Structure 1
Amino acid sequence: MHTKTHTLISPSLGTTRNILSFHYGPGGGEKIYIQSSLHADELPGMLVAWRLRRLLAEFEAAGKLRGEVVIVPVSNPIGLNQSMHGTLLGRFEMNSGHNFNRNFHDLAALIAPRIEGKLSGNIDENKLAVRREMRAALDEQTPHTELESQRLALQKLSYDADVVLDLHCDLDSALHLYTNPDVWNDVEPLARYLDSKASLLALNSVGNPFDEIHSFCWSDLRSKFGDRFPIPNGGISVTVELRSQHDVSYEFAESDAQGIVNYLMHRGVIDAPVPNMPALSYPATPLAGAEPIVAPVSGVLVFRTKVGAMVEAGEAIADVVDPLTDTVTTLNCTTSGVIYARHIARFTTAGMEVARVAGATAFRTGSLLSA
Structure 2
Amino acid sequence: MKPIIENLDLLKLASGDQLSLQVYKFIGKKSQKKVYIQSNLHGSEIVGNAVIAQLIDFFSGLKPDQLDGEIWLVPICNPMGTNQRNHFFATGRYNSYDGKDWNRIFWDYQKVCQDLEGFVKAHFNLDPLTIQESFLKQQKTAFTKQLDKINRPSSAPLFEQYRYQLQSLSIDANYVIDIHSSSNQGIDYLFCFPGKQEDSAKYFNIDYGILMNTYDGDAFDEAFMKPWLALENKFKELGRDIKFDRESWTLELGSGMQMKPESVAVGVAGIKNYLFKKNVLKLPNYLPEITDIKLVSRQQIKSYYAPTGGMIQNRMNLKQPVKVGDKLYEILSFNKQEKLPEIIDIYAETDGFIFDVSTSYSVNQGEYVLALLSPE
**TM-score of the superposition, structure 1-length normalised?**
0.87
2:86 & 2:167 partners in 1: Cα distance?
Answer: 29
1:47 & 1:90 partners in 2: Cα distance?
Answer: 18
Change (3 A) 1:183 1:95: same
Change (3 A) 1:30 1:8: same
Q: What are the ranges of 5 or more consecutive residues in structure 2 without an aligned counterpart?
A: 151-155
Cross-structure match for 2:188: 175
Change (3 A) 1:181 1:350: same
2:5 equivalent to 1:3? yes
2:289 equivalent to 1:277? yes
Q: What are the ranges of 5 or more consecutive residues in structure 1 without an aligned counterpart?
A: 362-371
Moved more, 222-231 or 340-349: 222-231
Moved more, 94-103 or 319-328: 319-328
Could you list the per-position Cα deviations for residues 143-167 of structure 1 after superposition, in whole angstroms to 9, with x for gaps in the alignment? Answer: 4133322211111111222221111
Task: State whether residues 289 and 359 of structure 1, in contact with CA within 8 Å, keep that contact through their aligned partners in structure 2.
Answer: yes
**Which amino acid letter does the alignment assign opposite residue 66 of structure 1?**
D
**Which amino acid letter does the alignment assign opposite residue 96 of structure 1?**
D
Cross-structure match for 2:141: 136
Change (3 A) 1:145 1:360: same
SS of structure 2 residue aligned to 1:354: strand
Cross-structure match for 1:31: 34
2:156 equivalent to 1:152? no
Could you list the per-position Cα deviations for residues 199-244 of structure 1 after superposition, in whole angstroms to 9, with x for gaps in the alignment? Answer: 1111433461111112222222333443225552443111111101
Quote how far apart the aligned CAs of 1:182 are. 2.6
Quote how far apart the aligned CAs of 1:50 are. 0.8
Cross-structure match for 2:76: 74
Could you list the per-position Cα deviations for residues 165-212 of structure 1 after superposition, in whole angstroms to 9, with x for gaps in the alignment? Answer: 1111111011111121133324322342xxx34211114334611111
Task: State whether residues 190 and 210 of structure 2, in contact with CA within 8 Å, keep that contact through their aligned partners in structure 1.
Answer: yes
Out of 52, 58, 71, the residue aligned to residue 55 of structure 2 is 52
Matching of residues 225-236 of structure 1 within 5 Å: 225-228=235-238, 229-236=240-247
Task: State whether residues 217 and 226 of structure 2, in contact with CA within 8 Å, keep that contact through their aligned partners in structure 1.
Answer: no
SS of structure 1 residue aligned to 2:215: coil
Q: Percent identity of the aligned residues? A: 22
SS of structure 1 residue aligned to 2:312: strand
Quote how far apart the aligned CAs of 1:114 are. 5.5
2:215 & 2:351 partners in 1: Cα distance?
Answer: 22
Could you list the per-position Cα deviations for residues 264-319 of structure 1 after superposition, in whole angstroms to 9, with x for gaps in the alignment? Answer: 11222111145243433x61101233211122111111253222233334433222
Matching of residues 1-371 of structure 1 within 5 Å: 1-10=3-12, 12=14, 14-26=16-28, 27-59=30-62, 61=63, 63-113=65-115, 116-117=118-119, 118-121=122-125, 122-141=127-146, 142-143=149-150, 144-170=156-182, 171-192=184-205, 196-206=206-216, 208-228=218-238, 229-249=240-260, 252-272=263-283, 273-280=285-292, 283-324=294-335, 325-361=340-376
Asked which structure has the greater CA Rg, the reply is: 2
Quote how far apart the aligned CAs of 1:119 are. 2.8
Change (3 A) 1:348 1:58: same
Quote how far apart the aligned CAs of 1:49 are. 0.8
Q: How many residues align?
A: 356
Task: State whether residues 32 and 164 of structure 1, in contact with CA within 8 Å, keep that contact through their aligned partners in structure 2.
Answer: yes
Change (3 A) 1:137 1:5: farther
Instruction: Please provide the CA RMSD for this pair.
Output: 2.4
1:5 & 1:203 partners in 2: Cα distance?
Answer: 37
**TM-score of the superposition, structure 2-length normalised?**
0.86
Quote how far apart the aligned CAs of 1:23 are. 1.1
SS of structure 2 residue aligned to 1:127: helix
Change (3 A) 1:288 1:191: farther
**Which amino acid letter does the alignment assign opposite residue 94 of structure 1?**
S
**Which amino acid letter does the alignment assign opposite residue 354 of structure 1?**
V
SS of structure 2 residue aligned to 1:239: strand
Task: State whether residues 204 and 273 of structure 2, in contact with CA within 8 Å, keep that contact through their aligned partners in structure 1.
Answer: no
Superposition misfits of 4+ residues, deviation over 4 angstroms: 249-252
Could you list the per-position Cα deviations for residues 91-141 of structure 1 after superposition, in whole angstroms to 9, with x for gaps in the alignment? Answer: 111111111111201121123536733532233322222211221121111
Cross-structure match for 1:365: none
SS of structure 1 residue aligned to 2:115: helix
Quote how far apart the aligned CAs of 1:29 are. 4.1
Task: State whether residues 215 and 234 of structure 1, in contact with CA within 8 Å, keep that contact through their aligned partners in structure 2.
Answer: no
Moved more, 345-354 or 119-128: 119-128
1:84 & 1:183 partners in 2: Cα distance?
Answer: 41
1:300 & 1:207 partners in 2: Cα distance?
Answer: 38
